[in-house]
Structure 1
């Protein structure tokens, strides 16, 4: 018997948002449809075939809390399927975090929930775009994710940066098939603190992390100020940038790649991707949502699943 085609679970996200419609449009795309087999996971009212997996009927309850509860239940069920080997990868449509929390899920977001359900101690949140408005690829890792800015300095450590950069470097080598990956560590403070004038995180955290990374064989550069590191990456000097906090990385990434970027969770025992946008509740159901990022997320999940299985 031959090896079965890659099978991907697509969670439909918050049923009030654009997740269901961009998922449907992406799955109907000829390139996507021929790439793998797919199973939708979500509220019964949005499913299309007997292969899809219902986690309840949102229309029977309605309301934000019900939408958040069922969006989280779809994630939980998809992870269960991936851990059992029933699917090879997961693509997640956007959730609304306030509804998600109102629905009873006590996670800051997808990333943290996935790590907990999969039983892994640490994951990496990477935003990846193989094509950008500036030409070259851009891959940005968020060392800290959903935190208030005031909490970032306490959350950063040399251990965290070493773990994040090491996981990223291995993924670039093993899944992206880059023979000798180059990783840059973005500075925390303006001008990389300018010798301590604007903070001490570079000397206290980033530089010790760099020394340890280089000792372990990781090609790492830094600390490089945020106002230059992303441009240098797009020009081909680095294969990924480790950003110290959410918005410094996301602002640069979405400026260069909005609509074509993909959120990838590294460190899970299966590939997980998602589009680079939110639920867009204000335009849901109007037929104007762009499915481009969802299409890219699905295609990348298929590619990573094939490579994780030893092919591709």
Structure 2
């Protein structure tokens, strides 16, 4: 149990786009996690309170109970989903996002951050949002990650500040140097400055958020065979290897760039605590191959703990009762673990 200034601190969950699968995976996840918390056979993840539209969540067939503060989750969680009700202005139709509701979706995120910074909550789990209705409503950030980074930009933070996106699946932690950029832009975006900053964030997070005293980092190469001595590309010799040498000079245990096609199998994963991946698919393909349903997106290098399911809003299946909550459940567990590690430092 994580203590705050006014008592134990739970997690806070933001509903995401209410027309997507967010309400369904939250309800299914609550049912599974409630059962786990009642078991004595496994460590219990933190309970959570939901910031969202209570009427939409109540349609999922699970008991819902209105609360006024996140701390009430400890009393309510075993019998109902605790919800801090902030209704959307327009009725929600599953599968049909409405830009009129997007400002409230953003408000849920902002209030969740405020609750963590004030000590009311230990961390946040964000259900998926859809960019198009958010942009139509004037949202100016690429996504959750950048918005939360902006909301926490004035808060004190010891160490190298992110945000850095990390995708996890089982024993794989894949951390991204670039995210949603075209392949033809990679050579100009993968700089020594960017790579070393990302590696520092990951190294510090492994210690702070995962309790690993001496993190071992693997750096993926950009080109096939990690450039093969410059015969299949020069970035490894001109940018990545010098960056790795600089980081080792700072006391960070990191490899020279390694061929990505041999970096993620079971034996290789045992040798490293985290992987520095240079572009989106280099990280996402191994993560989703290893555990398609249970991957988690975590943001490193921020003053708060934030995780998210590694999938989108699923408008095509919203309201059909078929969405799986595996990734949401894993995100709650990871946020619980990260918050607990921070609380002991």
Normalising by structure 1, we get a TM-score of 0.90
Task: Flag the structure with larger Rg.
Answer: 2
1:68 Cα deviation after fit: 3.4
The residue that corresponds to 2:167 in the other structure is: 127
Distance 1:264 1:223 in 2: 24
Runs of 4+ that moved beyond 4 A: 60-63
1:289 Cα deviation after fit: 0.9
1:13 Cα deviation after fit: 0.8
Are 2:182 and 1:172 equivalent residues in the alignment?
no
Distance 1:61 1:255 in 2: 34
Distance 2:19 2:244 in 1: 44
Are 2:163 and 1:140 equivalent residues in the alignment?
no
Are 2:306 and 1:276 equivalent residues in the alignment?
no
1:46 Cα deviation after fit: 2.9
Picking from 67, 88, 92, the partner of 1:57 is 88
> Would the aligned equivalents of 1:123 and 1:268 in 2 still touch at CA under 8 Å?
yes
Are 2:131 and 1:97 equivalent residues in the alignment?
yes
> Would the aligned equivalents of 1:8 and 1:302 in 2 still touch at CA under 8 Å?
yes
**CA 1:218–1:83 in 2, change beyond 3 Å: closer, same or farther?**
same
**CA 1:199–1:15 in 2, change beyond 3 Å: closer, same or farther?**
same
> Would the aligned equivalents of 2:19 and 2:92 in 1 still touch at CA under 8 Å?
no
Are 2:38 and 1:17 equivalent residues in the alignment?
no
> Would the aligned equivalents of 1:181 and 1:219 in 2 still touch at CA under 8 Å?
yes
1:283 Cα deviation after fit: 0.9
1:100 Cα deviation after fit: 2.2
Range 67-76 or range 275-284, more displaced: 67-76
Distance 2:265 2:281 in 1: 16
Distance 2:218 2:172 in 1: 12
> Would the aligned equivalents of 2:66 and 2:85 in 1 still touch at CA under 8 Å?
no
Are 2:205 and 1:160 equivalent residues in the alignment?
no
1:9 Cα deviation after fit: 0.7
1:219 Cα deviation after fit: 0.7
Picking from 91, 106, 117, the partner of 1:72 is 106
Distance 2:148 2:88 in 1: 23
3-state SS of 1:5 partner:
strand
> Would the aligned equivalents of 1:32 and 1:299 in 2 still touch at CA under 8 Å?
no
The residue that corresponds to 1:37 in the other structure is: 47
Picking from 216, 226, 230, the partner of 2:250 is 216
**CA 1:106–1:36 in 2, change beyond 3 Å: closer, same or farther?**
same
1:230 Cα deviation after fit: 1.6
**CA 1:116–1:226 in 2, change beyond 3 Å: closer, same or farther?**
same
Distance 2:266 2:47 in 1: 38
**CA 1:116–1:233 in 2, change beyond 3 Å: closer, same or farther?**
farther
Distance 1:61 1:232 in 2: 44
Distance 2:224 2:150 in 1: 34
The residue that corresponds to 1:306 in the other structure is: 340
Unpaired segments of 5 or more residues in structure 1? 132-136
1:302 Cα deviation after fit: 1.1
> Would the aligned equivalents of 1:26 and 1:32 in 2 still touch at CA under 8 Å?
no
The residue that corresponds to 1:134 in the other structure is: none
Distance 1:256 1:42 in 2: 32
Distance 2:225 2:283 in 1: 16
3-state SS of 1:265 partner:
strand
Normalising by structure 2, we get a TM-score of 0.82
> Would the aligned equivalents of 2:21 and 2:323 in 1 still touch at CA under 8 Å?
yes
Are 2:239 and 1:196 equivalent residues in the alignment?
no
> Would the aligned equivalents of 2:45 and 2:336 in 1 still touch at CA under 8 Å?
yes
> Would the aligned equivalents of 1:16 and 1:67 in 2 still touch at CA under 8 Å?
no
3-state SS of 2:270 partner:
coil
